[in-house]
Chains A and B, each alone.
Chain A
Amino acid sequence: MLISYNWLKEYIDFKESPEAIADILTMSGLEVESYKTLDGGDVILELNVTPNRADCLSVIGVARDVSAVLKKKLTLPEINDFKSDSDAGFKVEIIDKRLCHRYCGIIINGVKVAPSPDWMQKRLNSSGIRPINNVVDITNYVLLEFGQPLHAFDLKKLKGDKIIVRAADEPEAITTLDGVERTIPAGSLLICDAEGPVALAGVMGGEGSAVFDTTTDILIESAWFDPSSIRVTSKQTGLRSESSFRFERQTDIDGVKNAALRAVSLMMELCGGRVSGVIDNYPTRYEAPQIALTREKVQGFLGVQITGDEIEDILKRLDFKVERQTGDFIATPPSFRRDIELEADLIEEVARIYGYNNIPSVMPEVALAINNESDKHRKLGELRHSLRYAGFTETINYSFTTREDFTLLDIPAGDERRKVVTVKNPLQKDFDILRTFLLPSLLRNLKYNISFSAKEVNIYEISTVFFETGNGFPAERLKLAVLSYSSGGKKLYTEPAAHFYRIKGQLEPILSGLRCVKYELRPSNEDFLENDQSADVFIGDEKIGFFGLLSAETAARFEMIDDKPDIAVFEMFIDKTDAPIEHERAIPMFSTNLMFKYPSIERDIAIVVDDAYQSGDIINLIKTEHLDPERLIESVEIFDHYKGKNIPEGKKSLAFHIVYRARERTLLESEIDALHAEIVRHIISKTGGALRA
């Protein structure tokens, strides 16, 4: 809200500079966001008035707070009480007393509509309101001065000499001041004459009864309308006005008539005419709450040694009625402070005028307690740390995305990932659903970086994804996605492994870091990955992720065409491995089984088999139980995987290193020679392979 420094000075006699006033207001709860000096020397303060302080949506309201802080007297404009014996035969009937608690109407005959004087136009302009004519300008001036919205009707255009305040039973039509014909939804509060709606109560007047140059007789309306009703109507019609803004924040019901009379005083002065009727219909009286407060509570709650006298003084400066018995208070807020309901509200008033700066800073004293709830945070920290040192950079992407992802990545109908949560009011069209997987975001990150000629892109993201459940809360799951791209640019040292194995090498330590050991890899059925270059990760029958090389077609769809597919990706749930990330599984007991003292015997086997065999198949054959009933094989590791020269087409050479060890004795070379030979025979007979020459 814009407030004129000079206008403020009309109500309090202070010497403080605009900067000092801005500081005082800011430090007592009315933040001054900026101020600017006008040509005439006046300074306009831009106030950020919080929704609870409707009383400060006016110059006098702000002046009241300044006077409380500065301990200076507030001088309000003099207001004539235009007593009128008659209501001039005009009636105000409030049908909906729940939504309209008070309606004051004043009839003035013989006004002369003209432009308002310069000083008034300036004040309106500098407060952001466009001057129209003296009658309308006066209603707006009083709105700015007292915070009470007023409306002026052309009396001659009101049918039947009456105003009826009622809620619309069914949608009704009205053309508002802005010339738009609107359908007002049922339940909205309407101001009607004998024939129909003439104003949308508290929001905007009707075009038909507006004051024009030719108007001579007017009805000034000053009323109190229910805040949430005005807010609902304003939202439903999309109409916001200075009036509705104030009504929906609660206006001062006891100031309703006063504001109307202030307008009348100004009219007499600026438009002429005479008061011929004063109607004040106040069926729903306001009773201010009486709130108890103790000095001890204030002291304890704020942590400050404030005295009873200081508390009483502050509340009285803020126009509260205070009954006091030493340290016990009963405080009654003024009618313009409808935000004050509880003890805590009173304490805030005391604190802000006492000054937050005058309250000491003291660290809380609390009992120590065992902290069991931060495991997930720590584990995610470790995960990020290990990814970082494996060369990956963390990205964070918006949770929003578009259904286009499913087309780009060939996600089949019925796939889990299509169970999306939809945003009702998206900011943009391609942000209308929440992510169920992270890969599309990483691919967009990749594309963005390639556009800046990045040659190596190694990125990851850890984020919540959302699945529609059909009953309220979506299922929120935690996912990790990793992407590794290399343009095959020139490098000093060659990479020791192919891209598939490099990405798999990222996945494996992550799984074991999550204490996930019982996973199983199966050929991937993801259409966006290259066949034969990809795998899905399962725990039991649940697929928790996938990894492999992005298919060339998918890369092309993201407009990242390269001569070979060199984008490796993986993505997996990290909240539901066999040790959920929320809680550390019990640490396994220390075991001497891994620390035998008898010497080992080591043998290698190199075998040429059909391409169809995977290294895991051969390892399973090596570990065939009936061949080794004593479990002498301690470990089997592959150390060579070769295709090419000297190996026939369609075959490959695999070489394994086997460590044999007995738990309770020293092995004999001869018995291991026999066992190893048997294992070799077994592999050859099962695979049809041959020892490599």
Chain B
Amino acid sequence: MTALQELFLKELEGVASTAALRELRSRYTGKNGVITGELKKLPALAPHERAAFGKQVNSDKVFIEERLKEYEQVLVSKEIKAKLSKDPVDITLPGYYKKPGGRHPVTVVLAEIADIFVSMGFSIEEGPEVESDYYNFSALNIPLNHPARDMQDTFYIETGGQSGEGAFVLRTHTSPVQIRVMERRVNESRHNGAPLPPLRFIAPGKVYRCDSDISHCPMFHQVEGLVVDKNISFANLKGLLEGFLRKVFGPSVPVRLRPSFFPFTEPSAEVDMGCYFCKGGGCRVCKGTGWIEIMGAGMVDPRVFKAVGYDTNKYSGFAFGMGIERIASLKYGIDDIRLYYEGDLRFLRQF
């Protein structure tokens, strides 16, 4: 160790703050510092001594800079610690963050349903909420002046005096999307000459019925589903819907299908699942039957296939539909459907 290095180390020992360190640094390595002073001695030396002296000064410089750097880190950490210890945190105070908002239960359930079907290769389709009488009724084998129209209380839209089959309605179900998608496929197939591809989609969306009480709202959400291919059977309908309901409500939930009537399916089925609340023993929710009606379904009626131009000798298929609020109500135990549309944050933030 050179004398210069020893002197420096001695001085460094007395340094207690980053400010003092800066002062020391400038005194040794600054423009007019000790190192510069040493280098100024060079010209006075004999030529053969210069190289060795220059090397010596340089190694002093490196030594000093390294020590300064090391000691600076020590001092900075020390000073930060000293500063923080003067201002300790309250570890029980809440962290600063934006509280996430709530999701609408309808959106939550819709997303869950969509995930299940998308995972099985279903696509997601849409249709307009204001529909023509044709798509909402006639094409679905619900003719004008047929009692089947009583099954759905319908909102009509002012479109300039049109009535009957020229009328426009707020769609009463998502089933018109079946017709629209199949029509589109038939047109594409006619256009490119390719055979009709297999079809599997769900169509979620708002639907409207002209009634309102504790269990009915004038607007609610449905998901429609359609599977069309060669060799699709009623057993397939059962298999798919049982699998779906067990995914949503648990692997052991009992599911049963019973005969029913929808104009656009034949055979038609009402899909019931074992009552969630009484486990089949009978309660208020299931009206004592142990079963809860959860979906409508059936094999696509040949009259519907005919309306869109599908050959019923080649293709068969099934359709199903469910009310989202109904599923959400069962999942979360919501007993007043109006809660969905009041925008009450105390309700919505729970999802």
Same assembly? yes
Nearest CB in chain B: distance from A257 CB, A:
25
Q: Does A361 contact B (CB under 8 A)?
A: yes
Q: In terms of DSSP, what is the predominant structure of the interface of chain B?
A: mixed
Residue contact B343 to A395, C-beta cutoff 8 Å = yes
Contact A492 B93 (CB under 8 A): yes
* Complex contacts, A400 vs chain B, CB 8 Å: 218-219
Residue A253 lies at the interface, judged by CB distance under 8 Å to chain B: no
Judge if A390 is at the interface, Cβ distance under 8 Å.
yes
**How many contacts A-B (CB < 8 Å)?**
251
**A51 near B147: Cβ-Cβ < 8 Å:** yes
Interface centre among A304, A344, A364 (most CB of B within 10 A): A364
Q: Which one of A4-12, A138-146, A321-329, A346-354 is at the interface? A: A346-354
Asked whether B259 lies within 8 Å of A356 as measured between CB atoms, the reply is yes
Q: Is A472 positioned at the interface, with any CB of B under 8 Å from its CB?
A: yes
From A301, A369, A388, A445, contact of B197 by CB (8 A): A369
Query: Which residue in B103, B106, B168 is a CB contact (below 8 Å) of A473?
Result: B168
- Are B259 and A302 within 8 A (Cβ)? no
Given A343-B302, A423-B158; A473-B132 close (CB under 8 Å): yes
CB contacts (< 8 Å) of B123 on chain A: these are 371-374
Distance (whole angstroms) from the CB of A29 to the closest CB of chain B:
3
A473 CA to B268 CA, complexed, in Å: 31
Chain B positions within 8 Å of A398 at CB level? 217-219, 341
Complex Cα gap A496–B239 (Å) = 55
Cβ–Cβ < 8 Å partners of B150 in chain A: 51
Per-residue interface assignment for chain B, residues 258 to 278, with 1 indicating a CB less than 8 Å from any chain A CB and 0 otherwise: 111100001111100000000
Contact A232 B258 (CB under 8 A): no
A457:B345 contact, CB within 8 angstroms: yes
User: A301-B316, A356-B257, A362-B233 known; A51 and B146 CB under 8 Å?
Assistant: yes
Q: Which residues of A contact B122 (CB under 8 A)?
A: 371
List chain B residues, Cβ under 8 A from A391.
98-101
**Known pairs A303-B234, A374-B124, A459-B345; A421 contacts B114 (CB<8 A):** no
Interface residues on B, range: 35 or more
B263 to chain A, nearest CB (A): 8
Query: How many Å lie between the Cα of A50 and that of B145 in the bound state?
Result: 16
Which residues of the partner chain B approach A470 to less than 8 Å between Cβ atoms? 160
For residue B111, which residues in chain A have a CB less than 8 angstroms away from its CB? 381
A231 with B345, Cβ < 8 A, contacts A362-B236, A371-B121, A398-B218 known: no
The CA of A448 and the CA of B236, in the complex, are separated in Å by 47
When C-beta atoms are compared, the residue in chain B nearest to A368 turns out to be: B121
Given A362-B238, A427-B210: A373 and B261 within 8 A (CB)?
A: no
A445 and B346 alpha carbons, distance in the complex (Å): 12
Which residues from chain B contact A364 at a C-beta distance below 8 Å?
Answer: 227, 229, 232, 236, 239-240
* Complex contacts, A51 vs chain B, CB 8 Å: 146-148, 150-151, 261
Q: Tell me which residues from 15 to 40 in chain A have a Cβ below 8 Å from any Cβ of chain B.
A: 26-29, 31, 33-34
Q: Is the CB of B243 within 8 A of A363?
A: yes
A276 at interface by CB-CB < 8 Å: no
CA distance A372 to B124 in the complex (A): 9
Residues of B within 8 A of A458 (CB): 101
Q: Is B182 an interface residue (CB 8 A)?
A: no
Measured CB to CB, the closest approach of chain B to A386, in angstroms, equals 11
Contact B267 A348 (CB under 8 A): yes
Partner of A303, one of B129, B219, B233: B233
Q: Is the CB of B344 within 8 A of A423?
A: no
B299 touches A394 (CB 8 A): no
A232 (CB) vs chain B CBs: closest residue: B145
Assess whether B235 is interfacial by the CB under 8 Å rule.
Answer: yes
Asked whether B302 lies within 8 Å of A344 as measured between CB atoms, the reply is yes
Q: Are A472 and B258 in contact (CB under 8 A)?
A: no
User: Please, what's the 1-or-0 string for A373-386, where 1 marks a CB less than 8 Å from any CB in chain B?
Assistant: 11011000100100
Residues on the B chain within 8 Å of A425, using CB: 155-156, 210
B320 within 8 A of A: no
**Which chain A residues lie closer than 8 Å to B348 at the CB level?**
393-395
B229 to A377, Cβ gap below 8 A? Answer: no
Residues of chain A with a CB closer than 8 A to B242's CB: 361
A387 is an interface residue with CB less than 8 A from chain B: yes
**How far does the alpha carbon of A53 sit from the alpha carbon of B147 in the complex, in Å?**
11
Q: Which of B6-14, B31-39, B51-59, B200-208 contacts A (4 or more CB under 8 A)?
A: B200-208
List the A side residues contacting B200 at CB < 8 Å. 366
**Residue numbers in A under 8 Å from B206 (CB-CB):** 399, 464
Q: Which residues does chain A contribute within 8 Å of B151, judged by CB atoms? A: 51
B96 at the interface (CB under 8 A from A): yes
Contact mask B275-302 → A, CB, 8 Å, 1/0? Answer: 0000000000001000000000001011
| A residues less than 8 Å from B24 (CB atoms) | none
A249 within 8 A of B: yes
Contact B101 A388 (CB under 8 A): yes
> 0/1 per residue, A668-680, Cβ < 8 Å to B?
0000000000000
The answer to whether the Cβ of B16 comes within 8 Å of any Cβ in the partner chain is no
> What 8 new A-B contacts, CB under 8 Å, besides A31-B260, A371-B122, A427-B155?
A356-B238, A359-B238, A362-B235, A363-B240, A374-B123, A393-B103, A394-B103, A476-B129
A-B pairs with lowest CB-CB distance, top 4 = A303-B235, A303-B233, A445-B343, A29-B259
Can you identify 17 A-B contacts, CB atoms within 8 angstroms?
A: A33-B287, A227-B145, A302-B234, A348-B266, A356-B258, A357-B257, A363-B236, A371-B118, A381-B111, A395-B104, A398-B341, A399-B170, A425-B156, A427-B210, A427-B212, A474-B130, A476-B130
- Where the two chains meet, the residues of B that have a C-beta atom closer than 8 Å to any C-beta of A are 93-94, 96, 98-104, 106-107, 111, 114, 118, 121-126, 128-130, 132, 143-148, 150-151, 155-160, 162, 168, 170, 197-198, 200-201, 206, 208, 210-212, 217-219, 227, 229, 231-236, 238-240, 242-243, 256-261, 266-270, 287, 299, 301-303, 316, 340-346, 348-349
